[in-house]
Structure 1
Amino acid sequence: MSAIAARLPLILNELRLPTVKRLWADLAAQSNKEGWPAERYLAAVMEHELAERETRRLERHRLESQLLPGKLLSSFDFTTVPSVSKAHVTALIEGDGWIDQGSNLLLFGPPGVGKSHLVCAIGYGLIDRGYRVHFTRTSDLVQRLQVARQEMRLPAEIARLDRFDLLILDDLSYVRRDQAETSVLFELIAARYERKSLALTANQPFSGWEQVFPEPTMTLAAVDRLVHHSTIFELNVESYRRRTAATANTTAGKKLKEKTD
């Protein structure tokens, strides 16, 4: 028995079963003590392996997503954004049809109203359901695609992004066509159309997007592709940061008044 036990770690290394390697001896001792049938022992070690493999996969996908830390659905205050229903957002997370169909998610509103928080919360929820998500500032991605075009590998770079079921482009409104050639953004939108989902946050409505793309016709074509299969959230409320600052100032003013009274 000792010779077999000595060989097992090598075998499990070859089979890439680290959890079984770590737990087999304890489970074997429990199995021998309680008289488990072989089937129960085998199922027990493999269930542990599968569970930890799923945990590692989720950790890996959360890390690669680059979603903003802490921006979870549980910490989003829906009472401040009456136009957005928690039930609707939950349905987007739990209903995978829109992702499988390559539909899009568009979030509009002024800075500081929670667009990035909400889209990240949806991203985390989708990762938990087995999808791959990637979050990036739109300007950063445009620069990355511009470099790829200069190096004659733009199609390959866009194809690499296909591994993500949902690609989140944050702060589209901050991209300006006079900064550099932004037609690469249109090429990304066109390449993913009806195949892979995009989520965009923007401070400006569609009417302001002529500042992003080099030509009006390209703006219209990009909007048409994004809107064709999409869910749109409009978060047109006062900035959370502004509300917080106003509340803090009011509280400080009251405390000062109490001291001076």
Structure 2
Amino acid sequence: MNAPAHDNGRLALMLNELRLPTIGRLWPEFAERSDKEGWQASRLLGALFEHELAERAKRRIERHRNESHLDPSKTLATLEFGLLPMVSKAHVMALASGESWLEKGATILMFGPPGTGKSHLGSAIGHALIDVGYRVLFTRTSELVQKLQAARKSLQLPSALAKLDRFDLIILDDLSYARKDQAETSVLFELIAERYERKSLLITANQPFSGWNDVFPDPGMTVAAIDRLVHHSTIFELNVESYRRRKASDKQSARQRQLPEKNQEGGTTIMS
């Protein structure tokens, strides 16, 4: 008994209803090839489903990258490890794969003066984690504190913290710029306590722990926050020459080296 035939328009409607846009786009070409080469039905279906799943994964990664608010230029590919001699590339690559540290709710802490590459390193790890299927959020610490404080005032703080649970990693950039006299930073402690040993944080800070009394409302809360963060943590200390200044200097030097070459090609000599 022959299988019933379906017209192309009807198939398109069904594939759209089932939300299979890639199969809807590819099936005519694959069906024609299948007829010519005598594929079994399982091979045709398998090929179409593989493409659908691949496209779906690609769209999911793009969606997660958009929601992350990560700087698209700060990736592992653009990170110059040569300017960060105290950072092990192998260690960073291991963290970037996710391994088991995200499942443990472990923390990464990055300390160093402004411009030493903390944000770039943290963002690069975030991008790599998105590539392997995790969800990441990058935010200035002071901005998140303000949002959580607004949620507390409207009695929505538990709901706001629950929404943040969808992210496997939250990158809190510039924690040292959050000040207890600018915002009620006890909500920051609640975020740290809420995610402790469940969901991961990556924190960058210009000041060591000794300067964190300016962030939290009282010394007891500061100690409690640090205690939770250092448990199951990886700590990077980037006490080097400004990463941004060094990169800018290297680019300037490269441009200056190119000038004599261009002048020589053009037959012009510049006398100093």
TM-score tier (shorter) = over 0.9
Deviation at 1:259, TM superposition (A): 6.2
* 2:53 counterpart of 1:50: yes
Correspondent of 2:242 among 236, 239, 243: 239
Which has the larger displacement, 4-13 or 146-155? 4-13
User: Which whole-Å CA distance do the structure 1 matches of 2:208 and 2:44 have between them?
Assistant: 60
Give the structure 1 partner of residue 266 of structure 2: none
Name the aligned partner's letter for residue 231 of structure 1. Answer: T
Q: Say which SS state the counterpart of residue 97 (structure 1) adopts.
A: coil
* 2:116 counterpart of 1:113: yes
User: Which whole-Å CA distance do the structure 2 matches of 1:40 and 1:246 have between them?
Assistant: 56
Name the aligned partner's letter for residue 106 of structure 1. Answer: L
| TM-score (structure 2 length as normaliser) | 0.90
User: Which whole-Å CA distance do the structure 2 matches of 1:109 and 1:210 have between them?
Assistant: 17
Correspondent of 1:192 among 192, 195, 203: 195
CA contact (8 A) 2:192 2:225 kept: yes
User: Which whole-Å CA distance do the structure 2 matches of 1:52 and 1:95 have between them?
Assistant: 22
Deviation at 1:24, TM superposition (A): 0.7
Q: Which segments of 5 or more consecutive residues in structure 2 lack a partner in the other structure? A: 260-268
Q: Deviations over 1:76-108 (max 9, x none)?
A: 111111110000000111242000000000001
Q: Say which SS state the counterpart of residue 101 (structure 2) adopts.
A: helix
Give the structure 1 partner of residue 18 of structure 2: 15
Distance 1:259 1:187, change over 3 A: same
Deviation at 1:180, TM superposition (A): 1.8
Q: Deviations over 1:108-130 (max 9, x none)?
A: 11111111110111011111111
CA RMSD of aligned residues (A): 2.0
User: Which whole-Å CA distance do the structure 1 matches of 2:201 and 2:82 have between them?
Assistant: 26
Deviation at 1:74, TM superposition (A): 1.5
Correspondent of 1:145 among 114, 125, 148: 148
User: Which whole-Å CA distance do the structure 1 matches of 2:199 and 2:31 have between them?
Assistant: 46
User: Which whole-Å CA distance do the structure 1 matches of 2:37 and 2:126 have between them?
Assistant: 44
Considering fraction of residues, name the structure with more helix.
Answer: 1
Matches within 5 A, 1:1-261: 3-244=6-247, 248=252, 261=272
Q: Say which SS state the counterpart of residue 75 (structure 1) adopts.
A: coil
